[in-house]
C-alpha cells in the first residue's frame, strides 16, 4: 500500500501479520544519512555488547541526540531519523486504531552489526515489564550479506510453533524454523509489538556492516 508522508513523499506499507507492518522508502536518501552519521556526527562509536551480561560483542554503536541548531550537520541526522519514525508511528497507530499520540524515545541509538554477529530469538519486552507499547527497527543500508529478520510466532498459549531459528538464515530457511521473514532494504522500518508472541531473530551478518536504529513507543 502506498502511504503519503508529511513531506508528500510516498512510502510503501506491507502488512506481514496482523500487527507486524513493514515500511519501505521512509528515508529519501539512506546512503547520504549513513555517510553523515559516519563523517558528521562528532560522537565516537562505542562497543555494542549484549545487555544480558554475557561477553558478546555485536559491533559498535552511538546515540544521535538533538543539538537544536547548534550543529547543522547533526540536526540533519536527528531530524531525518525523527521524521521517519514519526511518520511511520502515526500511520501504524491509525491503521491499528490507536487513538493516543505516539510517544517515542527522544534519542536514536544507531547500531552497527559487524560480520559474524547476530541476535538470537527474543522478545523486546520481558514478562511483567509494561513500559513498551510498540517496537520499531529502522534499517539504513542493505549492502551486506545476511542480516535477515525472522519472526517465530507463539501460539495463544505462549508456546512456540517451531524451534527457534538457526542464526544463519540459509539454515533456518532450509529447516523452516520461522513464521515469516524480511530481508531489510535500506531506508525501511519494521514495526511490531514488543511482547509475546512476537519472537524474532536478527540473523547472522556474513559480510559487511549492517546499520540499524531500534526505537520504541513507550507508555
CB 77 within 8 A of CB 37: yes
- Output 66-70 pairs: Cβ under 8 A, ≥24 positions apart: 66/106, 66/107
DSSP 168-204: SHHHHHHHT--SEEE-PPTTEEEEE-SSTTEEEEEPP
C-alpha cell at 198: 512476537
CA distance 27 to 16: 20
Q: Give the chain's domains with CATH numbers.
A: 2-218 (2.60.120.620)
DSSP letter for 106, please: S
Whole-prediction pTM: 0.93
Per-residue pLDDT of the chain (219 residues; tens, 9 = 90+): 877 666 666 899 999 999 999 999 999 999 999 999 999 999 999 999 987 667 799 999 999 999 877 899 999 999 999 999 999 999 999 999 999 999 999 999 999 999 999 999 988 987 666 789 999 999 999 999 999 999 998 765 556 656 689 999 999 999 988 999 999 999 999 999 998 889 999 999 999 999 999 999 997
Amino acid at each position: 500500500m502506498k502511504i503519503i508522508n508529511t513531506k508528500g513523499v510516498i512510502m510503501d506499507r506491507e502488512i506481514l501479520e496482523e500487527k507486524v507492518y513493514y515500511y519501505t522508502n521512509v528515508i529519501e536518501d539512506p546512503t547520504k544519512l549513513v555517510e553523515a552519521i559516519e563523517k558528521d556526527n562528532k560522537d565516537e562509536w562505542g562497543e555494542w555488547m549484549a545487555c544480558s551480561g554475557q561477553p558478546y560483542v555485536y559491533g559498535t554503536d552511538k546515540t544521535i541526540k538533538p543539538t537544536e541548531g547548534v550543529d547543522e550537520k547533526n540536526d540533519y541526522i536527528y531530524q531525518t531519523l525523527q521524521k521517519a519514525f514519526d511518520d511511520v508511528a502515526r500511520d501504524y497507530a491509525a491503521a491499528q486504531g490507536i487513538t493516543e499520540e505516539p510517544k517515542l524515545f527522544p534519542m536514536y541509538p544507531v547500531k552497527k552489526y559487524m560480520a559474524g554477529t547476530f541476535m538470537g530469538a527474543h522478545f523486546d519486552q520481558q514478562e511483567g515489564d509494561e513500559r513498551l507499547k510498540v517496537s520499531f527497527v529502522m534499517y539504513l543500508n542493505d549492502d551486506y550479506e545476511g542480516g535477515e529478520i525472522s519472526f517465530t510466532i507463539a501460539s495463544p498459549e505462549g508456546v512456540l510453533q517451531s524451534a527457534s531459528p538457526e542464526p544463519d538464515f540459509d539454515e533456518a530457511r532450509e529447516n523452516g524454523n520461522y513464521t515469516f521473514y524480511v530481508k531489510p532494504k535500506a531506508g525501511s522500518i519494521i514495526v511490531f509489538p514488543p511482547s509475546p508472541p512476537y519472537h524474532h531473530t536478527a540473523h547472522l551478518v556474513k559480510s559487511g556492516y549492517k546499520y540499524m536504529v531500534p526505537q520504541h513507543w513507550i507508555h
